[in-house]
Structure 1
Amino acid sequence: MKIKRALVSVSDKTGVVEFARKLHAAGVEIVSTGGTMRAIKEAGIPVMYVSDVTGFPEIMDGRVKTLNPYIHGGILAVRDNPEHVASMKEHKITPIDLVVVNLYPFKETIAKPDVTLAEAIENIDIGGPAMIRAAAKNFKFVTVVTNPKRYDEVAEAIIKDGCTSGMLRMQLAQEAFAHTAEYDDCIQNYLKQQISK
């Protein structure tokens, strides 16, 4: 499956501009959100704002921006299922072939000595894990990257072959589920500590 469209939305922006530059050079269209989009745009790399894909603005202080059928339909569609393909066509959903997401810094936030419960809660990522899990579930067709250390390897594969191998996609999916599992475990541990105070 040739990678034509990527959704890039990261809290940790390490290496993301250079990665976006390589994706653009390989002919990949980039869709992005908020701060990530600004960083990519300021580097002179063409990028599409997620609201232009969804037809809906980011709302509720950014709590709702990617939770939308134009995003999740694009990620979850089974590309060799005629009914899924027909649904995409009917609803004008463009496939998303690469999902590059890492999560709000919950662990770092709760490590601050004076953090409030409200601040901690606002650093619980919702859209990020949803996109990561959707892409990881559909690894047969979609590449998911949660670790910036994987950017070079993924970019090289796309530049060389236009796509990633099935084994690499499965490895990245396993890493993605480990990433969200660790994230959720951190949140539930924090809440458990608040209850027992």
Structure 2
Amino acid sequence: MTDQTTRLPIRRALISVSDKTGILDFARELEALGVEILSTGGTFKLLQDNGVAAVEVADYTGFAEMMDGRVKTLHPKIHGGILGRRGIDDDIMNEHGIKPIDLVAVNLYPFEATINKPGCDLPTAIENIDIGGPTMVRSAAKNHKDVAIVVNASDYANVLENLKAGGLTYAQRFDL
């Protein structure tokens, strides 16, 4: 049975957001807590431009974004890091240079808002179908025992408060 009250620290976070509301302050606080930050594209640029230390996902995976940004996070080093069960998959993760990712902060492309814009054509709509974001959300949800998923900026303050108290409990990760 999983201990509901033990706080697990966050050592590595992946941040990849379409809606950047509050993300800079959230990332700064994570950095101040000693969390290593992985990030993609526009989010990485925002963090870098504002002095937040982050590792671009492409540098971590050794595989550049491709297909005009369609493929960024769909890589075993990302999903292995999210899905890897601590204490069970450690050997295979080490064998492949996969580091555990303890927190995923992601929100999805604004598909509905995009398709509701006057003049939105099919190619534009198609490019706003998010693949990597939902995949990371599902991976983190599947491994909520070890990984926190934050999809809403309104959760940033609560997550930070709990991290400052030593980490997130199982119940808190489950609720996210």
Runs of 4+ in 1 over 4 A off after TM superposition: none
Q: One-letter code of the match for 2:11?
A: K
Deviation sequence 1:166-186 (CA, Å, 0-9, x none): 1111111xxxxxxxxxxxxxx
Cα distance between partner residues in 2 of 1:100 and 1:48:
15
Other-structure match for 2:39: 32
Other-structure match for 2:16: 9
Deviation sequence 1:44-101 (CA, Å, 0-9, x none): 11010000111000000000011000000000001021xx111011111100000000
Work out whether 1:108 is the aligned partner of 2:113.
yes
Q: One-letter code of the match for 1:49?
A: E
Cα distance between partner residues in 1 of 2:14 and 2:107:
12
What TM-score, normalized by structure 1, do the two folds share? Answer: 0.84
Work out whether 1:164 is the aligned partner of 2:146.
no
Higher Rg of the two aligned structures = 1
Other-structure match for 1:180: none
Other-structure match for 1:52: 59
Cα distance between partner residues in 1 of 2:84 and 2:155:
24
Aligned counterpart for 1:71 among listed residues 75, 78, 83: 78
SS in 2 for 1:7: strand
Q: One-letter code of the match for 1:114?
A: G
Cα distance between partner residues in 1 of 2:47 and 2:169:
26
Aligned counterpart for 1:132 among listed residues 112, 137, 149: 137
Which ranges of structure 2 fall in alignment gaps of 5 or more residues? Answer: 1-7
Cα distance between partner residues in 1 of 2:49 and 2:24:
9
- Higher RCO (CA-CA < 8 Å; seq separation 6+): 2
CA RMSD between the two structures? 0.7
Aligned counterpart for 1:147 among listed residues 140, 146, 152: 152
Structure 1 residue 165, shift from structure 2 partner: 1.2
What TM-score, normalized by structure 2, do the two folds share? Answer: 0.94
Which ranges of structure 1 fall in alignment gaps of 5 or more residues? Answer: 173-197
Q: One-letter code of the match for 1:124?
A: I
